């Protein structure tokens, strides 16, 4: 159904652009001068066409981007970019006559996976492209696209194309006093499974950004260790192409062992929560807890963040992951029994805290044993909540 929708949008875009081209050609054949007024009308028409194709949810934006890359449609890709990236990519796409990629190898299929979400303002997707050619050989490339909301549309705000990935085999100082260099090696790239460097000497410069996993949590070069797995976006600076390649890094992501999850981050309360990949498309519903004194009077309130499984429905509800948020002062008051929450004989269980808030699990949160409660219990046993500072 999703592929059909993307094909339909792509078809509409192509037809409308062909009509626009045909109109221009017709004027040229009839020796009709292209007046400034008509040029402005053409620009307005293209702008309205692009607006009609704007995605209105993050996943649609990511899948539309992947389909536009697969079909080599530079005009569609341009329409999906943020204003900042449109300015950056315009000349490049024009030089390519709005056709990207190559005729061989070509993209046979792709996979879009959500990896990171910050509230409802930023989403990061992993996009894997599977290439093939006439020999049926297949290679895989990976990129991360960050999608943000611009007015009513969700647009691609950042593209990270991974050119080198693997384990760090060596750490050393670079040529500059403030530069470091890491040697990385990826055994899986040797058999041609991945389109990238199987070995690389990566220079970490002053402008290199190092992140924890799929998140925007910044690390330093001192946080990297031999044996860490990293994924690297290289800069456009000149590269020393003697094997193994030596190049400067724009971005390095340190991937934690077994990190095949997606991460929800709440910047208001400063917490991150890791979820299984099976929770793709989850929702976050905000509720409220209330604290009562000995007379039953409401004296304290606070938010409850409910992470909701994507298969949850009104008819068939599933177990939420409820996270109660307390200020440090509220938590202390509750511990001193100045107020209580609910009728349970025990209070909420602390999951973690930062310098402003305590995060807790409600007592008897799963007393009704809804579908999925076992999965949530197992998930919570692995300490998926990380307080941020």
CA torsion, ordered 277, 138, 231, 190, to nearest 10 deg: 130
d(CA 32, CA 34): 6
Q: Is the pLDDT of residue 14 over 60?
A: no
List helix spans (H) across the chain. Answer: 2-29, 36-52, 58-70, 74-79, 83-95, 328-335, 373-381
Instruction: Tally Cβ neighbours within 10 Å of residue 97.
Output: 8
In the chain the domains, ranked by start, together with CATH numbers, are 2-10+45-161 (3.10.450.50), 165-255 (2.40.50), 270-387 (no CATH)
Q: Quick one: tokens of 151?
A: 């007015």
Residues 6 or more apart whose CB falls under 8 angstroms from that of 53 comprise 9, 12, 13, 64, 76, 79
Report residue 42's pLDDT band, with 50, 70 and 90 as the boundaries: confident
Q: Is the pLDDT of residue 38 over 50?
A: yes
Mean pLDDT confidence for 257-261: 72
Q: What is the CA radius of gyration of the chain?
A: 26
Residue 260, pLDDT score:
67
Provide the β-strand partners of residue 20.
none
Q: Quick one: tokens of 171?
A: 């750490």
Give, in order, the Cα–Cα distances in Å from 130 to each of 101, 105, 109, 127. 13, 10, 5, 10
Mean pLDDT confidence for 159-174: 92
d(CA 293, CA 208): 53
Q: Quick one: tokens of 47?
A: 């702008």
Q: What are phi and psi of 150, to 5 degrees?
A: -120, 105
Give, in order, the Cα–Cα distances in Å from 163 to each of 71, 160, 231, 380. 22, 9, 8, 35
* Half-sphere CA count of 374, side-chain side, radius 13 A: 1
pTM of the complete model: 0.86
223 within 8 A of 209, measured Cβ to Cβ = no
57-82: per-residue pLDDT in tens?
999 999 999 999 999 999 999 999 99
Kindly report whether the peptide bond that precedes residue 244 is cis, defined as omega within 30 degrees of 0. yes
Distance of CA 204 to the CA centre of its chain: 23
281-323: per-residue pLDDT in tens?
999 999 999 999 999 999 999 999 999 999 999 999 999 999 9
Residue 317, pLDDT score:
95
Report residue 256's pLDDT band, with 50, 70 and 90 as the boundaries: confident
Q: Quick one: tokens of 330?
A: 């509220």
Nearest of 40, 19, 23, 41 to residue 32 by alpha carbon:
23
253 within 8 A of 263, measured Cβ to Cβ = no
236-247: per-residue pLDDT in tens?
999 999 999 999
Instruction: Tally Cβ neighbours within 10 Å of residue 173.
Output: 11
Better-predicted residue by pLDDT, 27 or 102: 102
């Amino acid at each position: 159904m999703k592929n059909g929708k993307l094909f339909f949008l792509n078809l509409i875009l192509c037809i409308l652009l062909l009509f626009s081209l045909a109109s221009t050609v017709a004027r040229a054949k009839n020796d009709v001068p292209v007046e400034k007024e008509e040029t402005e009308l053409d620009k307005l028409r293209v702008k309205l066409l692009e607006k009609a194709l704007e995605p209105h949810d993050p996943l649609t934006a990511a899948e539309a981007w992947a389909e536009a890359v697969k079909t080599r449609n530079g005009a569609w890709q341009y329409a999906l970019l943020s204003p900042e990236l449109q300015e950056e990519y315009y000349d490049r796409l024009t030089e390519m006559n709005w056709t990207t990629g190559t005729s061989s190898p070509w993209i046979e299929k792709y996979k879009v996976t959500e990896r990171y979400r910050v509230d409802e303002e930023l989403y990061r997707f992993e996009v894997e492209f599977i290439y093939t050619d006439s020999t049926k050989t297949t290679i895989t490339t990976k990129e991360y696209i960050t999608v943000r909301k611009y007015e009513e549309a969700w647009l691609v705000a950042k593209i990270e194309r991974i050119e080198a990935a693997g384990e760090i085999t060596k750490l050393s100082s670079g040529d500059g006093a403030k530069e470091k260099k890491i040697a990385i090696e990826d055994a899986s790239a040797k058999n041609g499974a991945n389109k990238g460097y199987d070995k690389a000497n990566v220079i970490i410069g002053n402008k290199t950004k190092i992140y924890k996993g799929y998140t925007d949590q910044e690390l330093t070069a001192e946080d990297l260790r031999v044996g860490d797995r990293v994924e690297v976006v290289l800069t456009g600076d000149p590269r020393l192409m003697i094997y193994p390649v030596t190049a400067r890094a724009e971005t390095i992501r340190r991937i934690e062992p077994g990190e095949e999850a997606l991460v929800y981050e709440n910047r208001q309360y400063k917490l991150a929560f890791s979820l299984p990949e099976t929770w793709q498309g989850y929702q976050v519903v905000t509720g409220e807890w209330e604290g009562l004194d000995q007379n039953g009077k409401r004296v304290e309130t606070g938010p409850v963040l409910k992470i909701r499984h994507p298969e949850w429905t009104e008819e068939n509800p599933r177990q939420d992951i409820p996270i109660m948020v307390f200020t440090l002062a509220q938590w202390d008051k509750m511990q001193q029994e100045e107020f209580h929450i609910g009728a349970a004989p025990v209070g909420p269980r602390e999951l973690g805290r930062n310098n402003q808030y305590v995060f807790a699990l409600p007592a008897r949160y799963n007393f009704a044993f809804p579908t999925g409660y076992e999965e949530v219990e197992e998930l919570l046993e692995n300490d998926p909540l990380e307080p941020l500072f």
